[in-house]
Amino acid sequence: MGKVSDALKQVLGKYGISQNQLAIALGVDRPIFFRWFHGQVDPSAETVADIAKAIHNIDGEASREFARLYLGYWTDSEQEGLIIPEVNQLPQSEALDVAALSRLFSDTTTSYKFLFFISLLDILKRRQFDVLSPISFQEIIVEMLANAWYPHTYFKLSFGSQDKIAQKLDSLVLDISEPILKFTDTDKKLLRKAIASQNLKDVISHLKKYVPFRLIIPFLEQELEGVSRGKGNELDVAMPAIAEKHFDLKKPLYRFDSSKYSGCQSIIVHPDWAAYIEKHYAIVRGWASWEWLNYMQPRNSNVPGIVNKIFMPQQRGSLSNQTKYWRLVLQHQTVSCIYSGQPLSLDKIALDHYLPWSFVAHDQIWNLIPVIPEVNSSKSNNLPATQYLKAFVAIQHLGLTISHNNLGEKAWGNYIEPFIGDLKMSPEDLLNLERLENAYAATVTPLMILAEKQGFSSNWIYRLAQ
**Long-range CB contact pairs, 124-131, < 8 A, 24+:** 124/269, 124/274, 124/277, 124/278, 125/281, 126/187, 129/274, 129/275, 129/277, 129/278, 130/274, 131/268, 131/269, 131/270, 131/271, 131/274
Rounded to the nearest angstrom, the gap between the alpha carbon of residue 6 and the centroid of all alpha carbons in its chain is: 16
Kindly report the number of other CB atoms within 10 A of residue 251's CB atom.
19
- Whole-number pLDDT of residue 186: 81
How far, in Å, CA of 28 to CA of 128, rounded? 45
Would you place residue 205 in the very low, low, confident or very high pLDDT band (cuts 50, 70, 90)?
confident
* Mean pLDDT, residues 54-64: 84
- Whole-number pLDDT of residue 231: 66
Mean pLDDT over all residues of the chain?
Answer: 87
Kindly report the number of other CB atoms within 10 A of residue 141's CB atom.
27
Distances (CA, A) of 129 to 218, 247, 253, 277, 284: 22, 18, 13, 8, 14
How far, in Å, CA of 442 to CA of 145, rounded? 37
Residue 91 has pLDDT above 80, yes or no: yes
* Mean pLDDT, residues 213-230: 90
- Whole-number pLDDT of residue 76: 38
Four-CA torsion 38, 42, 43, 49, nearest 10 degrees? 90
Domains defined for the chain, CATH in brackets? 3-74 (1.10.260), 98-298+303-308 (no CATH), 320-454 (no CATH)
- Whole-number pLDDT of residue 372: 94
Residue 354 has pLDDT above 90, yes or no: yes
- Exposed/middle/buried for 428, CB within 10 Å: 0-12, 13-18, 19+? exposed
Would you place residue 6 in the very low, low, confident or very high pLDDT band (cuts 50, 70, 90)?
confident
* Mean pLDDT, residues 216-220: 96
pLDDT tens digit string along 98-156? 999 999 998 888 999 999 999 999 999 999 999 999 999 999 999 999 999 999 999 99
Residue 83 has pLDDT above 60, yes or no: no
Q: Which sign does the torsion angle of CA 339, 345, 350, 356 carry?
A: positive
Residue 259 has pLDDT above 90, yes or no: yes
Would you place residue 46 in the very low, low, confident or very high pLDDT band (cuts 50, 70, 90)?
low
How far, in Å, CA of 359 to CA of 151, rounded? 11
How far, in Å, CA of 195 to CA of 208, rounded? 17
- Whole-number pLDDT of residue 1: 45
Would you place residue 89 in the very low, low, confident or very high pLDDT band (cuts 50, 70, 90)?
low
Cβ atoms of 430 and 396 within 8 Å: the answer is no
- Whole-number pLDDT of residue 184: 84
- Whole-number pLDDT of residue 78: 35
Residue 413 has pLDDT above 80, yes or no: yes
Residue 229 has pLDDT above 80, yes or no: no
* Mean pLDDT, residues 416-421: 85
- Whole-number pLDDT of residue 42: 67
* Mean pLDDT, residues 344-351: 91
Question: What is the layout of strands, in order, in the sheet containing 135-136?
Answer: 135-136, 266-269, 254-256
- Whole-number pLDDT of residue 19: 87
Distances (CA, A) of 415 to 31, 51, 162, 293, 407: 18, 27, 43, 31, 10
pLDDT tens digit string along 289-343? 889 988 998 899 888 878 888 988 766 778 888 999 999 999 999 999 999 999 9
Number of residues in the chain:
466
